């Protein structure tokens, strides 16, 4: 018998002073059986860090990245279906990234784990010409601390200022400082 996804309900509050984005959003996120709490929380972090200021050109939504190789983890599509922003969480290979760069106006990767530096050193030269690609690294200590906040019903608050995000929940708070890898 196949395992089913675990459903998490999140009340997400965003106060991004850097971009002037302030929002409250109810989110339902399905955690795939093969996905860890750490990766799921990074998908939520990506939503908090990249939510558009308004939804006039479509909202940033969870896609089927774990189930469908033609979709990212999150994306923003306009009303015509054109992909404005493609967001990957983890360490995608260069072929997937270059394909995404050809399909979307903007591509963002949030990589994490202790092997992120090794992954990036292996593909940096192969994706260096992608002008619409941003790659950010989250320190493994920070991503693991985020995983500690995961619970089936969450009241997450994201405060972003000067490139640092403070993520808080009733279980505690975590400071996350993404480091830009590309463009350097």
Q: What is the pLDDT of residues 128-159, one digit of tens each?
A: 999 999 999 999 999 999 999 999 999 999 99
Q: How far apart are CA 55 and CA 175, in angstroms?
A: 27
User: In this structure, is residue 1 part of a structural domain?
Assistant: no
Q: What are the pLDDT digits (tens) for 99-135?
A: 999 999 999 999 999 999 999 999 999 999 999 999 9
User: In this structure, is residue 116 part of a structural domain?
Assistant: yes
Q: How far apart are CA 129 and CA 112, in angstroms?
A: 22
User: In this structure, is residue 25 part of a structural domain?
Assistant: yes
Calculate mean pLDDT across residues 78-87.
94
Q: How far apart are CA 149 and CA 92, in angstroms?
A: 25
Structural domain of 159? 6-182
User: In this structure, is residue 16 part of a structural domain?
Assistant: yes
User: In this structure, is residue 47 part of a structural domain?
Assistant: yes
Which CATH number fits the domain that encloses residue 165?
3.10.640.10
Contact between 99 and 92 (Cβ < 8 Å): no
User: In this structure, is residue 64 part of a structural domain?
Assistant: yes
User: In this structure, is residue 85 part of a structural domain?
Assistant: yes
pLDDT band at 55, cuts 50/70/90?
confident
What count of other Cβ atoms lies within 10 Å of the Cβ of residue 142? 19
pLDDT band at 1, cuts 50/70/90?
low
How many domains is the chain built from?
A: 1
């Amino acid at each position: 018998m196949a395992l089913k996804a675990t459903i998490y309900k999140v009340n997400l509050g965003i106060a991004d002073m850097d971009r002037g984005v302030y929002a409250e959003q109810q989110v339902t996120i399905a955690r795939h059986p093969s996905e860890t709490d750490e990766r799921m929380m990074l998908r939520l972090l990506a939503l908090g860090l990249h939510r558009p200021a308004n939804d006039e050109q479509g909202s940033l939504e969870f896609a089927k990245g774990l189930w469908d190789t033609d979709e990212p983890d999150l994306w923003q599509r306009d009303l015509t279906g054109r992909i404005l922003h493609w967001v990957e969480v983890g360490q995608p290979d260069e072929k997937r990234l270059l394909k995404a760069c050809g399909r979307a106006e903007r591509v963002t990767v949030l990589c994490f784990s202790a092997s992120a530096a090794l992954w990036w050193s292996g593909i940096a030269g192969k994706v260096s010409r992608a002008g619409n690609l941003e790659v950010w690294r989250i320190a493994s200590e920070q991503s693991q601390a985020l995983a500690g906040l995961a619970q089936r019903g969450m009241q997450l608050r994201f405060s972003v200022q000067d490139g640092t995000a403070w993520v808080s929940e009733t279980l505690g708070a975590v400071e996350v400082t993404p480091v830009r890898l590309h463009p350097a």
